[in-house]
Chain A
Amino acid sequence: MNMMTVKQQGVWAALLWPYLLTASIPLDCKEEQGSLSRCPSISQEKLLDRVIQHAELIYRVSEESCSMFEEMFVPFPLRLQRNQAGYACITKALPIPSSKSEIQQISDTWLLHSVLMLVQSWIEPLVYLQTTLDRYDNAPDMLLNKTKWVSDKLISLEQGVVVLIRKMLDEGMLTATYNEQGLFQYDAQPDMLESVMRDYTLLSCFKKDAHKMEIFLKLLKCRQTDKYNCA
């Protein structure tokens, strides 16, 4: 299992580089004033595909990071506590559909907004996670690289979703983030185990939300192509 994850991480490390390039391309050039470079235009379908790819990769890397962390730092008897820590997820308060039937009922707009909420709520905690993992003595570099990569990709994902909202929904730019205040609190945990469990909870919750984001975007794409057979 350990070797498999390492191999997977190696594969994904090689796969991540093209996505770094894609992430570096500014999705919306109109906002930048005075820039000399011409922005490449991209179609809505292609943009959606790219966003979906981002989401898929983010989920996969987050899943690998969680597994790696779990194997390395979490004691075995405590490993299932993530399932019980549903309350501890920071995004539990967000009005996000949680079943397929619910998703079928909400509109595209709400779907996109849900995704955006999720993305925006996880940017800051991931940054915090980077700092905490650096404090671990024997944290493997692979884990640190993955979390770093995920936090960077999340930012580009947010940019993509914003452009999508503007293009698809013809709405103005959303400047405010939902979880700017109070959702995430940094508490100093002197106990090592507590700290580990908190980070573990963080990783597993992010993994769940990444999965959520991926499915939402895929369903949105299905709705764009075939309205009648999609969820």
Chain B
Amino acid sequence: MAVSSPSSHLLILLLISCLDWPSTPASAFLLDRDHMTTSAPTEPHFTECISREQETFRCWWSPGTFQNLSSPGVLRVFYLKKDSPTSEWKECPHYNYSNRECFFDVNHTSIWIPYCMQLRSQNATFINEDDCFTVENIVRPDPPVSLNWTLLNISPSGLSYDVMVNWEPPPSADVAAGWMRLEYKIQHRERNATNWKSLATQPHTHQGIYGLHIGKQYEVQISCRMQAFTKFGDFSDSIFIHVTEILSGESTFPLTVVLVFGIVGILILIMLIVVSQQHRFMIIILPPVPAPKIKGIDPELLKKGRLDDLNLILSGGGMGGLSTYAPDFYQDEPWVEFIDVNAEDADAGEKEDNQGSDTQRLLGLPQHVSHHMNSGCSNTIGFPDDDSGRASCYDPDVLDHDTLMMMATLLPGQPEDEEASLAVEEDSLAVEEGVSTSERTLIQTQTTGPQTWVNTDFYAQVSNVMPSGGVVLSPGRQLRIQESTSATEEETLKKGKEGEDNEGTAEKKQKELQFHLLVVDPEGSGYTAESTARQISTPPCSRMSGEGYQTIHPQAVETKPAAPVEDNQSSYIVPDSPQSQFSAPVSDYTVVQEVDTQHSLLLNPPPRQSPPPCLPQHPLKTLPAMPVGYITPDLLGNLSP
């Protein structure tokens, strides 16, 4: 366009000019003031013209450096009101020489009409072309009045607060009539700070100041100007805002007190409840620890020692749900005494597997039993045995032959003591005959004999019932009979020791007592019961594996009620009729069902009828045909010849 280059020229000029002048003057007087800073004018001039309410205005002049014109009345003010082309210069309507002021009252003041001012002396006229203005452009309103502040809120942290400041417009400004439209600007600062903080200009007569700090004193000032104009009036007098910390402290103090007292009260209450032993509350606060308890058993029964009820319960007849702990309660049974458990002499793992019984392996005890028999009660061992009851403490010297015999038979066999046990048996047999030496030997062998008890398993098999009413138990299933070894053992034993005596005695006994002889298994896995020669001639089938054991019943044994001969067939009491020759091994053990009132054992019947020869089976399966039932002491008497 055609005006492009001139406009660019204009812009450049404008930019250059902008560098010189920091602000945009709205009237000549501003320009004059700035101009004075650069080059102070020496001739008389007007310093400022201000209107306070857009109805009147004042002008102040200065003589400059012309001191001869400083006296009042020398300089005269003339103004030109450009309301018509024919207007003329007029003199100031009202002089105030004290402060060199010319006041234009309402009658001489026109708005929206340019005024031009000039100073005249007698000789010269001092005029500045820039001293022209319109009244609305020189309005600087008076400051607002009636400043006050109210607290809005305090922050939760208690460190800062907000304030609302209210004021009234200056009374000189006719705001109500709409003659002037004002807007206000607030500035505030801390008491001893130097920089003011200004808020945005707004037309309302109230404004909030936010984020003041507690404890600090603040100073606030307000000024106003006409809306859409540039000149602000003077600032109002300062008001001071100060909020101390008392307010914030009071608000939180009762809260802490209440909290502390509440906690202390609760603690005291708990302590009282605990101390007063109120069980109801105690259970709530400190619940009781449950005591150990056996399901189905009333601990009161145990306390009061009511044994019968307890026996009933435990046998399963009463409450049920309990396993049969039968042996534990037969406290008064005499046969329990005969069970002797000796764990000191047993060696663990020194011998072959065949030698060591399960008991041995489980316990890890040495197989050899020391001379604990002599030591008497010290031999008793707290051996956890299911069915052996309690270990008896006995004095070997006072033992009768019966007990000795039983002991000998009960003891598990060992290879070393095999002879000794045999000797024991011999002696035991001889005891009946009144051989004194046998006793001694018995005693002597007994010292070594009982070493083999370790091989005894936990079970006790009733091998025979004594005439006196006692039941002979034989040790557990560890007693094995190995055909090869046992047979050789027996033969050697027979040849070596027993010889004819054994047989003779066996024959004798067989008629009278019909004892089974124990043959200690050289392997130590058990001991075999050596019956009479006839019995021996018919060796039972032995197991090759040696897991179980077979019972050898003497031929003279008619009845074998104790078919439950678990390990050895050493039943002392056997039926006199020797015709019942058991060629086949019998069951190892049977379970004692219950004890009769007459102290007779009720046993399970043997499961098998026809014993297969030398079958490596469980002994229970190869039971011969044996009479089912049990033998009472009365029956025994009948049996005895």
Contacts and interface: CB of A to CB of B under 8 A. Distances in A.
B227 A80 contact: no
A195 to B, nearest CB: 7
- Main SS at interface, chain A: helix
Interface string B113-124: 110100000000
B136 interface: yes
B378 to A, nearest CB: 112
B290 to A, nearest CB: 78
A54 interface: no
Contacts of B27: 80, 83
A99 B110 contact: yes
Interface in A48-85: 52, 56, 59-60, 63-64, 67, 70-77, 79-80, 83-85
A86 B113 contact: yes
B638 interface: no
Contacts of B28: 80, 83
Given A63-B228, A229-B176, A86 B14 contact: no
B415 to A, nearest CB: 118
Contacts of B31: 80
B36 to A, nearest CB: 16
Contacts of B178: 52, 215, 218-219, 221-222
Contacts of A74: 14
Interface string A188-221: 0011110110000000000011011011001101
B17 interface: yes
Interface in A67-116: 67, 70-77, 79-80, 83-87, 92, 98-102
Contact of B10 (A56, A86, A192): A192
Contact of B17 (A77, A135, A196): A77
B82 A87 contact: yes
Please tell me the size bucket of the interface on A: 35 or more
B227 A137 contact: no
A178 interface: no
A25 interface: no
A79 B24 contact: yes
A230 B136 CA distance: 19
Contacts, number: 133
Interface string B10-45: 110110011011011101100100000000000000
A8 B178 CA distance: 22
Contacts of B82: 84, 86-87
B575 to A, nearest CB: 128
Contact of A222 (B116, B176, B229): B176
A87 B136 CA distance: 17
B300 interface: no
B111 interface: yes
A128 interface: no
Interface string A118-138: 000000000000000001111
Interface string B268-306: 000000000000000000000000000000000000000
Interface stretch (B125-133, B431-439, B561-569): B125-133
Given A80-B27, A218-B179, A229-B176, A100 B55 contact: yes
B21 A135 contact: no
B3 A211 contact: no
Contacts of B110: 98-99, 102
A3 interface: no
A208 B177 contact: no
A101 B23 CA distance: 34
B637 to A, nearest CB: 130
Contacts of A219: 177-179
